[in-house]
Structures are given as C-alpha cells and as structure tokens.
Amino acid sequence: MAQVYHAIGKRKSAVARVYVNNGSGAISVNEKSYKDYFADHYQAVVRKPLEILKADSKYDISVSVKGGGVSAQASAVMHGIAKCLTLISDSNRPTLKKAHMLTRDSRVVERKKYGHKKARKSFQFSKR
C-alpha cells in the first residue's frame, strides 16, 4: 500500500489540508479539479512547488480548503503541497526553502479600533 503524506498549509484565514500520494499528477481541490476551482493565475501558484522540483506528474494531490478568499486559498494550497514534498524527501527542502514556499506568510488583516472608521483610518479632526 502506498503511503499518503499529509500537511496543513495556511495563509490569512485560509486553511488547506493537503494529502499527497504517488500517482499521475491529478490535483483535486474540494473534490473538484483544481482547474475548475481556481482561475489561471492561481493554478500557476498551486503548481509552483511541483514545477520547481520537476515533479508535475509524479504525485496525486487531494486538497480540502476552507476560509479566506481565492488568493489566500491558492497560497495555502501551495504552502501545504510544499510541506508535503519535504515530508516525502528531505532533499526537496533546500530547494523549496530557497523559493520561500515553506514559510507561512503571517500577514493577516489588522483589527478595527474603536473611535476609528477602519483599522487605521480615523474620522476627520476639527478643532472648531
């Protein structure tokens, strides 16, 4: 029985649970083909770790992604795939690390403060 590798990728409020096993290169996101789920630009983001390692048709990937927007979901899937590929082989780690795919992008939306319109924008100040 082939071993299934599992990792979790995150970006903003999106969480992607990624499962990788040997196969023909099929990628499914929430039980749809990734080509149906993501637009062209985001498809390239999802495939990026596989293209860097030249492993486009080696693995079947199944992803369950929740939360965030489309851009954050695509980045979360990329992060999860990269983490799985390091579990498969330690020799993949330096290449993916150099491409900044193993680092969780920690930028999140700043909270709104009271007395402000938004996180930083204030109401117009008038002395008189």
**CATH code at position 74:** 3.30.230.10
Domains: count for the chain: 1
- Is 123 part of any domain? no
pLDDT reported for residue 1: 55
* Residue 80 forms part of a structural domain: yes
pLDDT (tens digit, 9 = 90+) per residue, 12-58?
Answer: 999 999 999 999 999 999 999 999 999 999 999 999 999 999 998 89
Residue 103 within a domain: no
**Does the pLDDT at position 2 exceed 80?**
no
Residue 118 placed within a domain: no
CA-to-CA distance for 19 and 87, rounded, in angstroms? Answer: 11
19 lies in which domain range?
Answer: 5-98
Question: Strand 27-29 and strand 14-22: pairing?
Answer: unpaired
Q: Is residue 66 part of a domain?
A: yes
What is the rounded distance in angstroms from the CA atom of residue 121 to the CA atom of residue 84? 41
Instruction: List pLDDT tens digits, range 81-112.
Output: 999 999 999 999 999 999 999 999 999 999 99
Asked if residue 112 is part of any domain, the answer here is no
Position 79 in a domain:
yes
Cα atoms in the 13 Å half-sphere on the side-chain side of 117: 5
Within-domain flag for 50: yes
